[in-house]
Amino acid sequence: MKDGLHDGRRVMITGLGPITAVGIGVEALWQGLRNRESGVRSVTCFDATPFSCRIAAQVDDFRAEDYLDARDARRLDRFTQFSVAAARLAMEDAALKSADVDPERAAVQIGSALGGISQAEQQLVNFLNGGVRSVDPRVAVTTFAGAASCHIAIDMGFKGPNSTNAMSCSSGTIALGEAWRLIREGIADVAISGGVEAPLAPLSFGAFSIIRAMSRRNHDPAGACRPFDRNRDGFVMGEGACALVLEEEQHARGRGARIYAELCGYGTTNDAYHMTVPLPAGEQAARAMTQALNRAGLSPAQIDYVNAHASSTALNDSSETVAIRTALGERAYEIPVSGTKPYHGHALGASGAIEAAICCLVMTRGWIPPTLNLDEPGEGCDLDYVANEGRPGKPKAVMSNSLGFGGINASLVLSRLGFESEEGPGV
């Protein structure tokens, strides 16, 4: 594969570790998609009555003790619990043990928009109520976003490049793209990469509610996230995480790994326009998609499915539609495009990683999930959004988009071209 700059090594996705409101682990997530389940509920983890939005996609069935030993579960906050648990799930799914990896050639790349903000909020409350002696002394190392990748590295013993980016809702996708670079350029052979978010606390939740970015459809939680629909009124916040195991091709094949897909293209750009409003014509989002295609060595005609950012906000959905049309041309009207946030909510920096995992399952399991709650397309939303009912389909090359506050655009291309005949998991 070529990106116009250098030849690079091929990067394979061999493990998935999703923690979402609609399911934890590969099989639970897939069954939630197939059953058209929504993880959106009334908020119960704190009192949301002061806010105009009182719904979210909580991961209610997550028990840290199911994935971590008791000591780790006690000393880590929810954000970091999600991080380590998702990484362990992904390694288990990949049938890969840390001991079988050269630790100095194993990277950790994670994305999170808000890091340990909920822990920081709680410790501030403790301070205001009881003074400094009531503050958890671990707060300094639990609230910064880098705790995610650092704790994963410690848990796995991985000593290669380690980073957590905080590029809003594109963070998980950017983390996957940067892990792709590290393996492609020969710096690492293996990477754990993805996104994590635990934002369901009054200040962080309320901040988005105050600016009216979130849906106020409190009477109908399951119907509140409505990508591309005429009556969409904002996103629905979610929490969760997803880690993916990326391996250099020969490393994966040498151990007989099951391969979901090749991660073969990545692009990222910035609107340089506004913190919350995307460029109406989506030209920089389109450029990120084109970069990903070019670096994958693929043409628009080869893309069979797009997992859209599809945040259910009025401006984002329409500008993303324009961007998809710009990047893919007339082919855009022939490709199924779906938004899966009605299932798992908008888990901010974790969303792109969750959606990349969903793309892997779409390619290997032969079914395209629908965009739920799409009853009447909004103005300018004129693509095939797979409204409300999924359909059979086994795409060979897909695109996954993330578009974040600050005008951060990121796009991935995943492919099974060249090894379509290999049996995929769960086919």
CA 78 – CA 99 distance, rounded (Å): 27
Q: DSSP E strands: which ranges in 210-357?
A: 240-248, 261-270, 305-307, 337-338
Verify whether residue 344 is a known catalytic residue: no
Q: How many CB atoms lie within 10 A of CB 389?
A: 10
CA 174 – CA 409 distance, rounded (Å): 9
Catalytic residue among 169, 264, 359, 381: 169
Catalytic residue among 309, 359, 360, 381: 309
* Cβ-based neighbours of 69, under 8 Å, separated by 6 or more: none
Helix-strand-coil split of the chain, %, nearest 5: 40, 20, 40
Alpha helices in 199-329 (DSSP H): 202-210, 249-254, 283-296, 314-328
- DSSP-assigned beta bridge partners for residue 402: 410
Residue carrying the six token digits 């399952």: 361
3-state secondary structure of 386: coil
CA 87 – CA 199 distance, rounded (Å): 19
Contact between 13 and 262 under an 8 Å Cβ cutoff? The reply is: yes
Helix (H) or strand (E) holding 149: helix 147-156
CA 87 – CA 17 distance, rounded (Å): 6
Q: How many CB atoms lie within 10 A of CB 380?
A: 13
CA 280 – CA 297 distance, rounded (Å): 28
Verify whether residue 381 is a known catalytic residue: no
Catalytic residue among 346, 359, 360, 381: 346
Vertex 402: Cα angle to 401 and 407 (nearest 5):
125
Residue carrying the six token digits 């939680």: 221
Q: How many CB atoms lie within 10 A of CB 331?
A: 16
Residue carrying the six token digits 């002394």: 137
CA 114 – CA 198 distance, rounded (Å): 8
Verify whether residue 346 is a known catalytic residue: yes
Residue carrying the six token digits 């949301």: 48
For the annotated catalytic residues, the residue numbers are 169, 309, 346
